[in-house]
Amino acid sequence: MMWLLWWIIVGGVAGYVATRLLDLETGPVATIAIGIGGALVGGFLLRLVLAALGIFAGIIGAVLGAVLLIWLWQMIAGRT
């Protein structure tokens, strides 16, 4: 169960960083949701590829995953 709490914390931080990098104004719930989604997608994939970096791979992957989700969201919503 601790892994779930960890993904929520990392996802919240990743969502905050990703929304600031892309200059996107979202509310706290959307920011955390973006980050958690990014953490699950990017963190998992990057952790597989960069397993040697340990926890840093998860954090980097979470931020990259959140940035990818924001980009996709903007493309789908027509906010390019």
**pLDDT tens digits along 15-44:** 889 888 888 888 888 888 888 888 777 767
**pLDDT tens digits along 41-70:** 776 776 676 676 666 767 777 888 888 888
Q: Which residues, at least 6 apart from 6, have a Cβ–Cβ distance to it below 8 Å?
A: none
Give Cα separations from 49 to 30, 42, 78 (angstroms): 28, 11, 32
Say if residue 76's pLDDT is above 70.
Answer: yes
**Residue 37: HSE in the Cβ half-sphere, 13 Å Cα cutoff:** 16
